[in-house]
Every structure is written in C-alpha cells, then in structure tokens.
Amino acid sequence: MKKFTLLGIILMFFVACQEKQSERYTQNSPEIDSVKAAIAAYEAADWDKYVSLYADTAKIYHNTKDKPVSPTQSAERFKESTSGYSSYSFVKDEGDMEMVVTDEGETWVNYWGIWEGTMSANDQKFVMPVHLTLQFKDGKIVKEYGYYNQTELVLANMELQKAAKATDTLANDVGMQQDN
C-alpha cells in the first residue's frame, strides 16, 4: 500500500512539474491585438503609430517574395496610395484572425479581411479581399506578407490618368487655336 501511495505522489509530482505547453492556436492574444492596432492606425492614417508596431528591422512583403520594404517605407507607400481615396477601411465583422505557434516556435498571426475604398476623383468604390500573415518576436512585428489583387485599382488609376492627359491635350489645342 505504501508503494502505491509513494508511486501516486511521485506521479502527481511529475505531472505538476511538467512545463505547461503554450497555446499553439488562439483567436485572442496580444499579437492579434497588435495586428488590430496596425489596421486601426492604417485606417486612421496614423503612420507613426503604424510604424511603432514593427521592429526596426522588420521586412514587409506585399505581393512580392523578394523585394521587402521597411515599416517606414510601407507607411510612405500607404500614405501615397490612400491619398486618392475619400474613404478606405477594412469591413468590420467581415474578417478573421488567428495566432499560431509553429513547430519551430515561431509566432504568426493570420488575417483575412475585406478592404473597401472609394476613389476621390470619381466616387468609384472598390472591394478587395486581403490576406496578411505577420511574424512576431518580442511583441513586435518582424515579418509581414500581404496578398491582394490590385488590378482593378491600377486600371482605374490608368483610366484617370488617361482622362487627365486627354483633358490637358484638349486644353492645349484650344489654347493654340485661340492664339492663332
């Protein structure tokens, strides 16, 4: 009987002393809160806040595998690309986030969402699915991959530039006729 009691105590000791394994998957974490903060900063055009969520050495790959940009460069690109929109945001309650810890111990947050924007020049509205996956170390984003199809946006901008060029050409032609 003493052997069973001793064996039971030893077994409980080993179970109690085992290191608790961290969660490998969750939908609530400080890292997810950081991604939400980055999205909120993007939507508010708060580029200083946006950059502050990234490590200084972070690499951001949007629709590329070999041409990363820094957080500051990313903020500048977003600042420029969003300047032509009267509104832009991610659709609330249309996205999903998860945090995973890989077998190698890397922490990643995956985000799937819907971006909407309205072009200032013509009130044209765009809807675009977006996937982001972000790696974290020490509470900061160190790597980000973003995937989305910008074809409609690029074509709309090309049409605006074409129309502006045609207007300029017409104005120059009219000006030349008046000079004659």
Looking at residue 101, what is its pLDDT? 97
Q: In the chain, what are the domain boundaries?
A: 22-149
Spatial distance between the Cα atoms of 65 and 82, rounded to a whole number of angstroms: 23
pLDDT bucket at 177, cuts 50 / 70 / 90: low
pTM of the predicted structure, to 2 decimals = 0.79
Q: What integer is the mean pLDDT of 57-86? A: 97
pLDDT digits (tens, 9 = 90+) for 4-40: 565 556 656 565 555 555 678 899 999 999 999 999 9
Q: What integer is the mean pLDDT of 134-147? A: 98
Looking at residue 8, what is its pLDDT? 59
On average, the pLDDT of the chain sits at 88
22-149: which CATH topology? Nuclear Transport Factor 2; Chain: A, (3.10.450)
Higher pLDDT, 23 or 161: 161
- In contact, 127 and 149? CB cutoff 8 Å: no
pLDDT digits (tens, 9 = 90+) for 100-134: 999 999 999 999 999 999 999 999 999 999 999 99
For strand 140-147 and strand 54-62, is the pairing parallel, antiparallel, or unpaired?
Answer: parallel
